[in-house]
Structure 1
Amino acid sequence: MSDTPQLLLSHHLKALKLPTFLREYDKLARQCASEGVDHSRYLLRLCELELIDRERRMVERRIKAARFPAVKSIDSFDFKAIPSLNKMLVLELARCEYVNRNENVIAVGNSGTGKTHVALALGLAACQKGLSVGFTTASALVHELIEARDEKRLLRLQKQLAKYRLLIIDELGYVPLSPTGAELLFEAFSQRYERGSTIVTSNLPFDEWTSVFGSERLTGALLDRLTHHVHILELNGESYRLRQAGKVASPPKDAEPD
């Protein structure tokens, strides 16, 4: 019978979905008793542990739902390697106030300069701020849109894309789009106009986007919407990936003779 209260407490904490309470209450009770902490402060500590753990789990779920190819942070970006990038603007964007204003971000630069890293870092920051995030490449999104249209579920996918507070579309410009793909991607952008934030990365300057969409009219209309409320990040310079690969591949020079 002496175990009944513990069994009931365990049952109730599971039913209330308080796993941190369940895991920590006994150990914390002994610790508080040894420190002479009263019951109110003991409960306060338990609540704080539960809230911290719950927020961590929610962030993990948002990161998983975003389908990032990798988790990157701003702290791990080498700003010195890309001096053209406005570091202060990136740090400001990491506060995610632009998302609350439904503004966009376009990162433009050569391949390998860190555009995807910056986009992923801003996506991670948004997840940590409690915002819903989606990540995809332009070619993958177009393929998904065409497939959804063919399977009569395009409207459902469009609604799903529109619900993201932040949608990241990576690698726009690497693959030319078919007329159908260009129109579907344009529609996806249009449905988010002033309703949600979009981050786009591209290896092409704006005046070359027509080569991707195949239509000056469509490209002009897209840029008009994307750049109405936009923050532009320029990442110009030598490929960071190639430079790092060169460091790994190059053997050390032989020591000079005395």
Structure 2
Amino acid sequence: MPRLFNELAVARADGSFERLFRKIVRADVLILDDWGPEQMTASQRRDLMEIVDDRYGRKATVITSQLPVESWYDIIADPTFADAILDRLVHHAHRIALDGPSMRKNPQPAPAQSQLKETA
């Protein structure tokens, strides 16, 4: 999400916003990784609203977050936008809540590396 918002801001400044926006909206699957932990600015809310509105019912959107959905209103930081954005995101959504230890704490060797060791 932070990179997306940064790219949108740069595109708005250099005149390429419409091209980037169309590319995002047309993607078959849009993955919005790292939802939160910072509150959205007014322009970020507006951009996200336009993206989810144009994608709603047409394309898949995947969101990853360490925050529960109930906290997303605080991240959007505007009740009207939060209702509109979350209505489009949560309606017809499949929620998968993961629980357990971080996978980053116990790094496993990549499958390709372990296969190479076994054959060597």
The TM-score by the shorter chain falls in which range?
Answer: 0.7 to 0.9
More helix by share: 1
Which residue of the other structure, out of 15, 19, 23, is the alignment partner of 1:152? 15
SS for the counterpart of 1:195 is: coil
SS for the counterpart of 1:209 is: helix
| Pairwise CA distance, 1:239 | 2.2
Query: What are the Cα deviations for residues 108-132 of structure 1, in whole angstroms up to 9, with x where unaligned?
Result: xxxxxxxxxxxxxxxxxxxxxxxxx
Query: What are the Cα deviations for residues 181-236 of structure 1, in whole angstroms up to 9, with x where unaligned?
Result: 12212211211111111111011111111221111211111111011221111012
Match of 2:103 in 1: 240
Counterpart-to-counterpart distance in 1, 2:72 and 2:66: 10
Per the normalisation by structure 2, the TM-score is 0.81
Cα contact 2:48–2:85 (8 A) shared by 1: no
Residue identity opposite 2:78 in structure 1: S
Match of 2:26 in 1: 163
Residue identity opposite 2:31 in structure 1: I
- Count, aligned residues: 108
> What fraction of aligned residue pairs are identical, expressed as a percent?
32
Counterpart-to-counterpart distance in 1, 2:93 and 2:71: 18
RMSD, aligned α-carbons: 1.7
Larger radius of gyration: 1
SS for the counterpart of 1:190 is: helix
Q: How does 1:133-148 map to 2 (within 5 A)?
A: 138-148=1-11
Once superposed, which parts of structure 1, at least 4 consecutive aligned residues long, lie more than 4 Å away?
none
- Tell me if 1:222 matches 2:94: no
Per the normalisation by structure 1, the TM-score is 0.39
| Pairwise CA distance, 1:241 | 1.9
Counterpart-to-counterpart distance in 1, 2:63 and 2:72: 12
Counterpart-to-counterpart distance in 1, 2:50 and 2:28: 17
Counterpart-to-counterpart distance in 2, 1:149 and 1:234: 35
Which segments of 5 or more consecutive residues in structure 2 lack a partner in the other structure?
Answer: 108-120
- Tell me if 1:172 matches 2:2: no
Which segments of 5 or more consecutive residues in structure 1 lack a partner in the other structure?
Answer: 1-137, 246-258
